Structure 1
């Protein structure tokens, strides 16, 4: 069986070698439709709430050597087994997706639900949404609905084929909006006259205008700080103040739902010019500098407990690196020495870094990296004789191949280095214009030009969901299916 496919399913499906490998480990036969799967009992107990409850129920079924699962499809169960064994199978057709969703719901396989969430895209989101609603898989249902809301103009015609209550639920959700904040140090008494520019602004795409969302706290610095969004909250960690680049201890969180700022504990190791990324209740502060010394250390902040702890160091010290997420995986891009780009993945479960890919390309300075579906896009300035030209390469996590995007992209004043992805669009911005690109088939095609961010200097960009004016609850069809 191919690692990323469930086609060609044989009668005796096996996990990690099957009975020929170790009959003591693969000790359970599961019959689904006409296929028999020989599976490690421990694998099912660890990954499925259904099997965990069954094996501890004391019922006769929990002691049998063969189980017969009624009402499921063999192909969906095969997908579940691949995911439980650590695989990331691609789902090739609508029936396969629907069968996997059914299996995730019936057997309560959390890892399969998360994998399905990673696979939600513009091609399958309507199917995922409707199928998740039918089987009551709420996490997938909400994830697909949010993507549909973000891509509503592109999917509006196709949405008409869905039941009215499903359409109504999508329309009740708040779409993601493009948000930007300039780089500012903490506001001292001498800087009070300029405090009015210390604002976080969002782009109203309907009115083609930037509007103030909130003001930065007086003590907050966004200069060389770590800036990230996690669970629709904006986090600003560290930064510097003054010409001597004094590291800041202050850290803040902005909750878009309540329009309120709160302070949070500072890292154990102060740092600036570092990468900050949010993932599953954690913020990761990666690399950076302190007192002009470049660091490899990594700290993680657990949001639920409000505490910092050290994680495994980067493979080498780095400041000003690029970091992004794709398929719910964390990647960093290191580009020094100047000719070499290395992409590393951080594995939270094992607390370790692993080298994913290396690319040799001439460049003059800087880079940016964003994720779209299973692709990583790395942007960099061209060689020193053409440093205003921006070149782009794409790395496929599925195929493990690099692709150089044809042509080049103008990067006036670093606009492309502000790139952020929403759905199938990448947004970039500078003072002159906000450009939206359509990302498709490993190409970026200009789509829309909107007003530029009305602030000078460099900036941070991200997406937030802002509460609607009408906050009356809307009936969630998935809760009543």
Structure 2
């Protein structure tokens, strides 16, 4: 998917242009030479995206007037990756490309390239990313890859301890992601508080669910939008009762301070909608109002505290299935007759773009989970068995669908609550919480823990929680959570 264009030219493939300066070179462009390769690139592209070239062009020095620049500290592989990213591509990279891309973004100061590297960190490249980012001082990537490693620490412990001590210590100083859940609850009152109205987290060391915080009395999680952005929990909308009167305010929970605050709700009142936290904003997608499906989409900017409408959905839809893969928003829309369309929201164009169509017989529901450059689409099992799920995998790089082996669900819990972390996917039911290991052709059960003993719809997500004594965390049990609240919390290492 191209957003901008550039021209790559090897000097030995076009002798006339290399021998006659200015000939064959587009206006307002620059020839960049690295070793024995030449690249003809639009100056505005370089100036807008590279601090090095912006400073060069504004310096007033003789070099800023030259038609050709020789770069000594950047490799060809890294520069090509940079141009691809600036051209709108989202490439997966080999080890050599990763090292040179990090070198390139360190020397030329290219935020878009750094951002892309953070978004493609995975279990296969995270240690290389981390060590190389530390070497070249790309601190945003250093921190992002360290967070990923912290979430997979138990799986990568042996490899991690081959790193220098200071790098190991930084990883261990970070907080891991916790698997979280909250059920659907209507608002209550101060006088008649419902002790079930809690946000809970999974204590993986003790394999049990514990209370993190109680919902504010006026908050509704029934048919609400629930999402995490910048490690804060947002609850938008929701209905007050069977009348489906929408709660107009939004609510935000900050685990670092253990406090709730209110924000303005979306301009279009809505329920049964999807809320996605992404890249500094919240996206309220589709839903219903007055029993009518909506196609409108709104984006909330945390920096400005305001909502604005963005491109609407291709069709009115409630409970839109969604996932974020490689920092790209994808939704799955049921089209009928066994067809489901995967669309991507392209922020630069403010458009929903059709990516692919899956044609299968579906029954009760869909869910979608991202892992690396794969989208896993879950649907209910054979004979309309809503207790079993089957999966298909779409690879964004190859554009190919693959039917995954096996069936999932039943006593293992519904995959319609699945959340990915590292190379694992967590899902739950009232009986059991299951961690799956994502493998090439199937998901394998890794371990089972205590179930989430609540009824009703469940929202699941990940958050990084500050450390607190275990005794202060209320345990979730069948009769309701402990009344204890979190004490004053130490600042998060974030």
**Structure 1 residue 67, shift from structure 2 partner:** 0.7
Match of 1:58 in 2: 60
8 Å CA contact retained: 1:186, 1:220 = yes
Match of 1:449 in 2: 448
| SS class of match (1:235) | strand
Match of 1:259 in 2: 258
**Aligned residue among 85, 88, 93 for 2:87:** 85
Match of 2:3 in 1: none
Q: CA RMSD in A?
A: 2.4
Matched, 1:215 2:214: yes
Match of 2:471 in 1: none
Q: Distance in 2 between matches of 1:211 and 1:20?
A: 68
**Structure 1 residue 390, shift from structure 2 partner:** 1.1
| SS class of match (2:195) | helix
The 1:269/1:130 distance shift into structure 2, 3 A limit, reads same
Matched, 1:164 2:165: yes
| SS class of match (2:150) | helix
**Structure 1 residue 244, shift from structure 2 partner:** 2.2
How many residues are paired up? 462
**Structure 1 residue 251, shift from structure 2 partner:** 1.0
Q: Output the TM-score relative to the length of structure 1.
A: 0.91
| SS class of match (2:329) | strand
Map Cα deviations across residues 394-422 of structure 1 (whole Å, 9 max, x no partner). 11111111111012112469621110000
Match of 1:437 in 2: 436
8 Å CA contact retained: 2:331, 2:344 = yes
8 Å CA contact retained: 2:387, 2:414 = no
The 1:12/1:334 distance shift into structure 2, 3 A limit, reads farther
8 Å CA contact retained: 1:282, 1:300 = yes
Match of 1:416 in 2: 415
**Structure 1 residue 471, shift from structure 2 partner:** 5.3
8 Å CA contact retained: 1:427, 1:437 = yes
The 1:340/1:413 distance shift into structure 2, 3 A limit, reads farther
8 Å CA contact retained: 1:334, 1:341 = yes
Q: Distance in 1 between matches of 2:265 and 2:88?
A: 35
Match of 1:395 in 2: 394
8 Å CA contact retained: 1:381, 1:388 = yes
Q: Distance in 2 between matches of 1:292 and 1:25?
A: 57
| SS class of match (1:246) | coil
| SS class of match (1:161) | coil
Q: Distance in 2 between matches of 1:99 and 1:147?
A: 21
1:59-458 → structure 2 map (5 Å cutoff): 59-92=61-94, 94-188=95-189, 192=192, 195-337=194-336, 339-411=338-410, 415-458=414-457
**Structure 1 residue 25, shift from structure 2 partner:** 4.2
**Structure 1 residue 139, shift from structure 2 partner:** 1.0
Q: Distance in 1 between matches of 2:27 and 2:317?
A: 43
| SS class of match (1:67) | strand
Map Cα deviations across residues 417-449 of structure 1 (whole Å, 9 max, x no partner). 110000000000111011001112142111010
Map Cα deviations across residues 103-144 of structure 1 (whole Å, 9 max, x no partner). 011101111111111211111101100111111111111110
Q: Distance in 2 between matches of 1:425 and 1:379?
A: 16
**Structure 1 residue 293, shift from structure 2 partner:** 0.5
**Structure 1 residue 282, shift from structure 2 partner:** 0.8
**Structure 1 residue 338, shift from structure 2 partner:** 5.7
Map Cα deviations across residues 208-242 of structure 1 (whole Å, 9 max, x no partner). 11111000010111111000000000000001121
8 Å CA contact retained: 1:33, 1:72 = no
Q: Distance in 2 between matches of 1:338 and 1:455?
A: 35
Q: Output the TM-score relative to the length of structure 2.
A: 0.89
Give unpaired runs (5+ residues) of structure 1: 1-7, 477-481
Q: Distance in 1 between matches of 2:89 and 2:324?
A: 18
Map Cα deviations across residues 161-190 of structure 1 (whole Å, 9 max, x no partner). 111000000000000000111110111478
Greater mean alpha carbon deviation, residues 30-39 or residues 254-263: 30-39
Give unpaired runs (5+ residues) of structure 2: 1-7, 469-488
Match of 2:484 in 1: none
Match of 2:485 in 1: none
Map Cα deviations across residues 277-311 of structure 1 (whole Å, 9 max, x no partner). 01111101000000100010011111111101111
**Structure 1 residue 13, shift from structure 2 partner:** 8.6
Greater mean alpha carbon deviation, residues 52-61 or residues 72-81: 72-81
**Structure 1 residue 22, shift from structure 2 partner:** 7.0
Q: Distance in 1 between matches of 2:287 and 2:381?
A: 24
The 1:240/1:21 distance shift into structure 2, 3 A limit, reads farther
